[in-house]
Amino acid sequence: MTYLDLINGVLKRLRETTVTTADESAYSSLIGELVNDAKKQVEQSHKWTALRTSITFPTVVDQIVYSLSNAKQNAVFEQAMNEATDRYLNIRPLSYFNEKTVLSTVTSGSPTEFMFDGTDTSNNLRVRLYPTPNVIETLRFDMVIPQADLTADGTNMTIPSNPVLQMAYGMALRERGETGGQSAAEQFAVANAALNDAIAIDANRYENELVYYRV
């Protein structure tokens, strides 16, 4: 569903007039905010197949810190590997890097370890490598990266739409107060059921990941 479809889906359930653009009225803009709030909650509930992506980049000789393009602070790390050596990279704590780079003589070679190292000026996650690269090799980081907030009418939502629609409707009922019909609590129960069903369907695509649950 598009951003506009989601807004109108909520408006119809509220028995409100549908709109032709997200910001047509103050109320449609509010519903748009609730749609994005619901989207964030659903995105953070599961490692959705549609949000999984791989970020690759070449190392630079003597450069130890690298940015993960488009991976903001809400991105979830899965695994990392050195494609040149066909080896996984091990994530290490800061204490490990202090021992290797501050308390010991820094060595160079093919990277085998990394740690997350804050963010860059674009709010992308950064990683620090060890040993210091001495050749150009391609590294790959598998991540789960949430979609940016929906703003344009025609933007399609990446994750399943029904849980987001049902949750946004519950938020709208809660914001409105007395509805004379379905309560917000009842609607959130519907939204949770829709979310659990969507997670079960999505998890089935990765049968080796046997345990799935809302986090």
Q: pLDDT in tens for each of the 215 residues of the chain? A: 999 999 999 999 999 999 999 999 999 999 999 999 999 999 999 999 999 999 999 999 999 999 999 999 999 999 999 999 999 999 999 999 999 888 888 899 999 999 999 999 999 999 999 999 999 999 999 999 999 999 999 999 999 999 999 999 999 999 987 656 678 989 999 999 999 999 999 988 877 665 544 54
CA–CA gap between residue 213 and residue 215 (Å, rounded): 6
Closest CA to 191 of 3, 42, 5, 34: 42
The pLDDT value recorded for residue 6 is 98
pLDDT at residue 83 in the model? 96
Assess contact for 6 and 161: CB atoms under 8 A: yes
CA end-to-end span of the chain: 24
Report pLDDT for 4: 98
- Map out the domains of the chain as residue ranges: 3-44+148-203, 49-144
What are the residues whose beta carbons fall under 8 Å from the beta carbon of 157, sequence distance 6 or more?
A: 1, 2, 3, 6, 39, 147, 150, 164
> What is the per-residue pLDDT for 180?
60
In this predicted structure, what is the pLDDT of residue 172? 95
How confident is the model at residue 215, as a pLDDT? Answer: 47
**Angle at Cα 69 formed by Cα 205 and Cα 71, nearest 5°?**
55
